């Protein structure tokens, strides 16, 4: 730093003392700067100067490229390549989707907290009531039976309160609600990435805007936020795959002619993969969903019944009709209800049911996507065949060679299509 100061002072003094015209001053400044020894600047050993200098150059280069890209896109929009109104609509949809991602994430955390807090609170109420019933039965035969009525009344109130809370908790299934919002968050993030990709590619039309709007509304319908009125049925009569995608419409034909990446071999391969997914993967997850639903129904009914029975037993402790069985019922039914509540909500059986149902919906969506492309006779309206094959392979966790081997296998009876789930 000491080697630089004299040069800088001389430059300033020479510039201030020079009483010449402006062009001559510029020449003097340039000559003074050029006369500064450059080797001394390179010899300065201050940490981070070279790195920061390179970072500034890199940042300047990135900003220059970004500005040139923006100017180019703006020129395209002015010249008719991209409609600015469509760009504004796409950005509006992108902002709405980003807001929904945050909303579903926050509500997922809230409902997950509901599940843990209600589980702990209800189990605490049940175990406290069972303890009071046991103490009341012992105090009833003691010389001083005064504590027995108070303990009986307290245990009965606790059991009745636990029964009401259990009924509400089993009706709304907080763990299943949290899983629904978790799936919605993931799907809205996926849609957000799709919109970003469309914007970056630049070849979008008003059809893309309508399609993305339909996807947003379909997700809102599949995973509603409110509980009252719009909540999904937690104990349906028939288990069906989750559906979060809209009805597919015919796409506009592409400008590029040809087979669009499709051939007869690829069509046969895609048909066989659809058959395997429908026969093996989707059906297996629906079967698991039905088992989880049956278990959840049993636990949701049995736990409140047991707490209600325990409330009756606690109220009859020490009564003339009590033959010694009331205390046993009050304690045993309460303990068993606590175990069932822990299995149902601690094990998150509702969440498991929703997870299996969503997995079945995932395979259903893939089947619909492939079947829609195969039904479309106009090849230019289809999605590119090579791109679709790669997407299917990635979603199933298989390479392209593995995907073709799966389709070539005779019947595929012993194999599932997916290696991920």
Count Cβ atoms within 10 A of the Cβ of residue 157 and give its class: 0-12 exposed, 13-18 middle, 19 or more buried: middle
Is the model more confident about 65 or about 389?
389
Nearby residues of 169 by Cβ (< 8 Å), 6 or more positions away = 118, 119, 122, 345
Band of the pLDDT at 57, cuts 50, 70, 90? very low
pLDDT higher than 70, residue 145: no
pLDDT one-digit tens code per residue, 332-375: 999 999 999 999 999 999 999 999 999 999 999 999 999 999 99
How is the chain split among helix, strand and coil, in percent rounded to 5?
75, 0, 25
Residue 10: the pLDDT is: 38
pLDDT higher than 50, residue 28: no
Band of the pLDDT at 312, cuts 50, 70, 90? very high
Give Dmax (Cα) for the chain. 121
What is the number of alpha carbons within 13 Å of residue 94 lying toward its C-beta?
15
Residue 320: the pLDDT is: 73
State the Cα–Cα distance between residues 36 and 338, nearest whole angstrom: 85
Give me the mean pLDDT over the 38-56 stretch.
Answer: 43
Residue 19: the pLDDT is: 41
pLDDT higher than 70, residue 51: no
Residue 256: the pLDDT is: 54
pLDDT one-digit tens code per residue, 158-177: 999 999 999 999 999 999 99
Give me the mean pLDDT over the 39-56 stretch.
Answer: 43
**What proportion of the chain, given as a percentage, has pLDDT over 70?**
75
Return the closest-CA partner of residue 349 out of 287, 305, 285, 288.
288
pLDDT higher than 90, residue 100: yes
Count Cβ atoms within 10 A of the Cβ of residue 387 and give its class: 0-12 exposed, 13-18 middle, 19 or more buried: exposed
Residue 97: the pLDDT is: 97
Residue 409: the pLDDT is: 80
Residue 34: the pLDDT is: 42
Mean pLDDT of the chain: 81
Tokens of 390: 């790669």
Q: Which residue has 């805007």 as its token pair?
A: 209
State the Cα–Cα distance between residues 347 and 181, nearest whole angstrom: 18
pLDDT higher than 90, residue 289: yes
The size of the chain, in residues, is 421
Band of the pLDDT at 67, cuts 50, 70, 90? very low
CA 397 to chain centre: 19
pLDDT one-digit tens code per residue, 87-98: 999 999 999 999
CA 248 to chain centre: 23
Band of the pLDDT at 148, cuts 50, 70, 90? confident
Q: Which residue has 């339909």 as its token pair?
A: 214
C-alpha angle 107/113/118, rounded to 5°? 125
State the Cα–Cα distance between residues 374 and 267, nearest whole angstrom: 7
Residue 323: the pLDDT is: 63
Residue 7: the pLDDT is: 39
Count Cβ atoms within 10 A of the Cβ of residue 16 and give its class: 0-12 exposed, 13-18 middle, 19 or more buried: exposed
pLDDT one-digit tens code per residue, 363-396: 999 999 999 999 988 888 888 999 999 999 999 9
Give me the mean pLDDT over the 185-212 stretch.
Answer: 92
Torsion region of 411: left, alpha or beta (phi above 0 gives left; psi -120 to 50 gives alpha):
left
Phi, psi dihedral angles at 348 (to 5 degrees): 50, 55
Band of the pLDDT at 21, cuts 50, 70, 90? very low
Band of the pLDDT at 36, cuts 50, 70, 90? very low
Torsion of CA 331, 335, 340, 346, to 10 degrees: 150
For residue 114, give Cα distances in angstroms to 10, 99, 191, 220, 369: 74, 23, 28, 22, 37
CA 367 to chain centre: 22
pLDDT higher than 50, residue 220: yes
pLDDT one-digit tens code per residue, 229-269: 889 999 999 999 999 999 887 776 665 556 788 999 999 99
């Amino acid at each position: 730093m000491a080697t630089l100061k004299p040069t800088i002072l001389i430059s300033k003094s020479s510039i201030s003392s020079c009483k010449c015209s402006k062009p001559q001053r510029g020449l003097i400044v340039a000559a003074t700067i050029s006369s500064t020894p450059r080797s001394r600047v390179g010899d300065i050993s201050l940490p981070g100067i070279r790195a920061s200098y390179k970072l500034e150059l890199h940042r300047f280069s990135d900003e220059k490229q970004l500005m040139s890209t923006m100017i180019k896109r703006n020129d395209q929009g002015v010249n008719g390549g991209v409609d600015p109104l469509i760009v504004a609509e796409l950005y509006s949809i992108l902002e709405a989707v980003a807001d929904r991602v945050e909303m579903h994430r926050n509500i997922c955390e809230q409902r997950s907290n509901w599940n843990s807090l209600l589980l702990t609170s209800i189990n605490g109420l049940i175990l406290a009531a069972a303890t009071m019933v046991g103490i009341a039965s012992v105090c009833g035969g003691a010389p001083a039976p005064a504590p027995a009525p108070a303990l009986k009344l307290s245990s009965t109130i606790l059991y009745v309160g636990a029964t009401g809370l259990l009924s509400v908790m089993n009706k709304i299934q907080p763990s299943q609600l949290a899983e629904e919002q978790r799936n919605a968050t993931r799907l809205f993030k996926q849609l957000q990435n799709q919109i970003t990709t469309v914007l970056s590619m630049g070849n979008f039309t008003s059809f893309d805007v309508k399609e993305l709007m339909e996807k947003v509304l379909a997700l809102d319908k599949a995973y509603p936020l409110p509980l009252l009125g719009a909540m999904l049925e937690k104990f349906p009569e028939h288990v069906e795959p989750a559906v979060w995608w809209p009805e597919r419409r015919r796409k506009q034909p592409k400008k590029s002619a040809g087979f669009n990446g499709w051939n007869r071999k690829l069509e046969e391969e895609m048909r066989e993969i659809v058959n395997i997914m429908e026969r093996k993967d989707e059906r297996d997850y629906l079967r698991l969903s039905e088992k989880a639903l049956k278990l959840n129904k049993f636990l949701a009914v049995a736990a409140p019944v047991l707490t209600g029975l325990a409330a009756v037993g606690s109220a009859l402790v020490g009564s003339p009709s009590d033959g010694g069985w009331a205390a046993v019922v009050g304690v045993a039914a309460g303990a068993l209800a606590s175990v069932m509540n822990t299995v149902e909500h601690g094990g998150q059986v509702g969440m498991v049911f929703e997870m299996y149902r969503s997995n079945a919906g995932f395979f259903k969506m893939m089947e619909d996507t492939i079947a829609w492309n195969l039904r479309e006779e106009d090849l230019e309206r289809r999605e590119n065949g090579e791109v679709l094959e790669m997407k299917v392979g990635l979603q199933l966790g298989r390479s392209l060679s593995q995907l073709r081997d799966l389709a070539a296998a005779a019947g595929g009876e012993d194999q599932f299509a997916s290696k991920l789930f």
